[in-house]
Amino acid sequence: MAADLSKKYFGTDGIRGRVGEPPITPELILRLGHAAGRVLAAQSAHRPGETPAVLIGKDTRISGYLMEAALESGLSAAGVDVYLSGPLPTPAVSYLTRALRLSAGIVISASHNPFEDNGIKFFSAAGTKLPDAVEQAIELAMGEPVSCVASKDLGKAFRVSDAAGRYIEFCKSTFPNELDLKGLKIVVDCAHGAAYHVAPPVFHELGAEVIAVGNDPDGVNINAKVGATYPRHLQAAVLEHHADVGVALDGDGDRLVMVDAEGRAYDGDQLLYVIALDYWRRGAMAGGLVGTLMSNLGFEQALARRGISFARAPVGDRYVLELMQQKKWILGGENSGHIICLDKHTTGDAIVAALAVLRALREQGITLAQATADATLFPQRLINVPIRKGFDWRASEVIQRAERDAVAALDGAGRVLLRPSGTEPVLRVMVEASDAAAVDRHANALAEVISRAAHG
């Protein structure tokens, strides 16, 4: 399940970078569109008369206009029809790609990153991330000259005017018909992102009183001290409006954090625990649950006490999904808030996950605090240490020794994890243990050693 290191542009979650710098430049994006179109056209060659078609959705970054136009041009030149949805969450593109029976879906988004960044990720016709082999074929095709099919074979462009409405109805369909959210006051923080016009209606149409925040995108304020990556904004809004619960999404709508009436925030591990116990209670659990190397040890231990199997995948929702499919399990996710319910959707979906949590609370008449009472998370410290590009931290003896020393000091009562970011030049240091002071001490010491080694 390790990432394919032979790929030049594709990381664990598509292609991502600073706008205006390779690979996020107009020329390379046009080449990417053309290459993807050629690969898709070749896959459709065995179906005579069928024109491959792709859905393009985007978040609210101002650079989305540029990137959408470049992708559309490249795809059209390769003879691929393009369906444009405008701003739409990543999981909505996955759903509509399947619903419209299209060849692929493309999302223009850098997820939780600041507006200066952007990225591109692909979904297959089945609504799942593209296999490594297909991504590699697209990269190889990017090395070929951009050409143009005959004029009569050029791809056409269509606007999907009802895309948001279709997705709203899909989300609502994952909530039981006999249940509603009447009597609940919910604050929904849309991170000024792709879900700004779809998340509030979902909860409102299910009966809740909705206070929408972070729902006024201007092209540059996406994720700016709002949303799932900045839960303090939601915590303050829940307390200000005396709400029962708060729901925060990230910029592309696939990451979830929730807040209770007391202003306490709940991360992906805690929310996944609520969902898992509800499935277990209803006899809907299929096997166990997949987390990642970052999943909290307290979360794993709480599941074990319930007899629920748990497996760790490498960090990244595509790897979580791969392991879920291998084990034929239907629940998985990351502590960052990516939660996958395969009985409802083919990919992580923050709105669908929030509805799964709310179902559990409503049916049992309990609060988030009560639902997570027996899942005490270990203190966990994560530090992003900047490293120079190309720095081989694995070959550094001083780093390896510092890691061994930290593991020995914890003496089996905690975990240490070092892993490089897939999207930026940083090495992530994670230390977890029951002793918060020890966690901070070891994390800071490791980060200092890494920083000196990387820049010394």
Please identify every residue annotated as catalytic: 111
Contacts of 328 (CB under 8 A, 6+ apart): 286, 287
User: Could you tell me where the DSSP H helices lie in 328-435?
Assistant: 350-364, 368-371, 397-410
Bridge partner list, 194: none
Cβ atoms of residues 186 and 210 within 8 Å: yes
CB neighbour burial string for 164-199, b if at least 16 within 10 angstroms, e if fewer: bebbbebbbebbeeeeebeebbbbbbbbbbbbbbbb
Cβ atoms of residues 304 and 289 within 8 Å: no
Contacts of 103 (CB under 8 A, 6+ apart): 40, 43, 44, 52, 53, 54, 80, 125
> What own/partner pairs with CB < 8 Å and gap ≥ 24 does 10-14 have?
10/135, 10/136, 10/138, 10/139, 11/422, 11/423, 12/315, 12/316, 12/318, 12/319, 12/422, 13/111, 13/119, 13/121, 13/316, 13/317, 13/318, 13/422, 13/423, 14/107, 14/119, 14/120, 14/121, 14/122
Return the DSSP state at 365: T
Q: Which is nearest to 276 in space by CA: 250, 305, 235?
A: 305
Q: Which two tokens stand for residue 330?
A: 């239907």
Bridge partner list, 418: 429
Residue 390: left if φ>0, alpha if ψ -120 to 50, beta else—which one? left
**CA angle in degrees (0–180, nearest 5) for 169-318-42:** 85
Bridge partner list, 210: 186
